[in-house]
Amino acid sequence: MIYKGGVILVIVIIVAILIIIAIIKYKTKFFKLNNVVLINGGIKSGKTSLTVYLAIKQHKIAHFKWWFRKYFLFKKNEEEPLLYSNVPIKYKYYIPFSSDILLRNKRVAYKSVCLLSEASLVADSQSYKDSNLNYETMLFCKLYAHETKGGYLFIETQSISDLHYSFKRVLNNYLYIHSCFKLIPFILVFKVRELMYSYDNESIVNNFDSDIEDSLKTLVITKGIWKKFDCYTYSSFTDDLNYDCVVLTKDDIEKLDLKSKDIVTFIKYKDLKKGGVKHE
């Protein structure tokens, strides 16, 4: 009896989870994506998770269309669309995004999808002082859809204002992640808002009379997406460094002088005197 009761309980839980997922899926918003898609949100809001998911999903669509044309329309010579990314992705069709692609010394396969994570690291808002970089980024962004014959470019960044203007000039809308619920078993539930963007006055052109949460749409993906990328991928630049681990004793804490002796900064202060020093 206990064994049967346990089985029934497991079945009930599974059915309940499936019903919840079905309800959420029913209310999920399916966005119409432009050829250049920007995903924006706060630190660790799930930007990369959502971007990788959307990029893979878009590639699967492009790949299916390629397969259909090849075997049913007999277009044997069409290039197979691939997924290019500047961060490693465990995906069958993943190709590392390179500087040669960015500088247009090489091109991506037609109808392919490109993903640029932390795009401000590629070219930020302060890079405009480099005229050659301005020219190269302008050509890459403006001609991307032409070069790829209808491919998609997914850009992920924490702040739009930190992006180079060449990326912003090709945008007329973007996806903003308001929140992401990660505690639900097996799934990630995103609250996302589609916003219009105008580069001319560096503003988000949106007027909402209701509360911000009333205009949010739900997007649901499985946590399996986490197995396809490393959310701390750039830690590779510092993983080999020694970490600072000097722990003060209880006695040291009791005797601690709460006056700061210095300012930890990148700025070189010329006339800053050391704190805690008595001057006669």
Residue-wise pLDDT for 161-202, tens only, equals: 899 999 999 988 899 999 998 877 788 989 898 888 878 766
CATH 3.40.50 fits 28-237, yes or no: yes
pLDDT at 28: 55
The rounded distance, in Å, linking the Cα atoms of 60 and 40 is: 23
**Taking 80 as the threshold, does the pLDDT of residue 22 lie above it?**
no
As a whole number, mean pLDDT of residues 39-49 equals: 89
The dihedrals phi and psi of 41, each to the nearest 5 degrees, come to 175, 170
pLDDT at 5: 64
As a whole number, mean pLDDT of residues 243-253 equals: 87
Domain boundaries, the chain: 28-237
Q: Are 117 and 143 in contact (CB under 8 A)?
A: no
Give the E-state strand segments of the chain in sequence order. Answer: 36-41, 83-85, 94-96, 113-116, 152-157, 173-181, 187-198, 203-204, 217-222
Enter the pTM of the model.
0.83
pLDDT at 79: 96
**Taking 90 as the threshold, does the pLDDT of residue 137 lie above it?**
yes
pLDDT at 203: 59
Q: Bigger pLDDT: 199 or 117? A: 117
Say how many C-beta atoms besides its own lie within 10 A of residue 4's C-beta.
Answer: 8
